[in-house]
Amino acid sequence: MLFFTNLLLFGSVTSTSMSYFNIIKLNATPSTNDFLKERHQKGLCLDGDLVWAQDQTSGRGQRNRTWFSSPEDSLTFSIYKTYEQFYSANAFSISVAVALGIVTGLQSQGIPNVSIKWPNDILSDNKKIAGILIENIFMQGNLKATIIGIGLNVNQNKFNDLPNAASLASVTKRQWDINQVFNELKIPLEKMLFSLDSISLKELFLNYSNLLWKKDERAVFEKEGQMFNAITKGVTKLGCLLLEDEAGKRLELNSSQLRMHYEN
């Protein structure tokens, strides 16, 4: 059964911004992204709606993977954001902005060695602590809105045969207050999302590139079932990863063509 709190309005990050998140708390829902998609289809979504579920029973990750979350030990929420004047070609910048917002919020809480594993995993000490799932809504080829799903492992200690997973608790050796973690993440996310139209994309992508996991290092990749080594050089504005293979050849591949592995 779903339980809704009263609609809560939180002030924006800076005195120059007038934006708000509209926070809806749920006891449980199969997927916060799907919850917002259903509301969008019924015309019920407002710009800045944020759905926060204590228990997300069927969360989804990239490539149709399942996002495993433990009730009361995880933070799972989704944001509905409209971008009426946003160019579709810049859609990946939403993912970039969200990743940077999460990294900023985690760094402010002292989480060590935070990085971004392309295209949208957040790591600490080379272990995955958070994932992002962005589903854009287009009309007649134009980007109209986006639904941003975020899952963060907070106090978990067991990860069900996921050797590359971690939590804030496991990397810091302490327990965390989930409400406090959320509030610290909300501030930079709101700043990023509600000012994205005015942020320099060049600076945005530079900051994202500098935080890439294995940047300028050799890593293992998979393309069409074949494993190969290459060096990550950066990302394009369309979200393709720029690589240099062992022969010195430059490659530009998107997330449907390429998978980045944890193995060294």
In the CATH scheme, what is the code of domain 218-260? 2.30.30
d(C-alpha 261, C-alpha 164), whole Å: 10
SS3 (DSSP) at 115: strand
Domain 8-210 has CATH 3.30.700.30: no
By the 8 A CB rule, do 78 and 38 touch? Answer: no
Q: Which residues, including other chains, have CB under 8 Å from residue 242's CB and lie 6 or more apart?
A: 232, 233, 234, 235, 236, 250, 251, 252
**What's residue 247's pLDDT?**
95
**What's residue 9's pLDDT?**
29
Retrieve residue 117's tokens: 């594993």
- Torsion (CA) 11, 13, 15, 17 in degrees, nearest 10: -80
d(C-alpha 145, C-alpha 137), whole Å: 5
**What's residue 8's pLDDT?**
31
Sign of CA dihedral 57, 147, 22, 190: positive
Q: Report yes or no on whether pTM surpasses 0.85.
A: yes
**What's residue 151's pLDDT?**
96
Query: Structural domain boundaries of the chain?
Result: 8-210, 218-260
**What's residue 243's pLDDT?**
98
**What's residue 1's pLDDT?**
29
Return averaged pLDDT per consecutive 10 residues of the chain, 264 residues in all.
30 37 93 96 96 76 53 91 81 96 98 97 97 92 92 92 93 96 96 89 94 97 96 96 97 96 77
Q: Which residues, including other chains, have CB under 8 Å from residue 58's CB and lie 6 or more apart?
A: 30, 31, 66
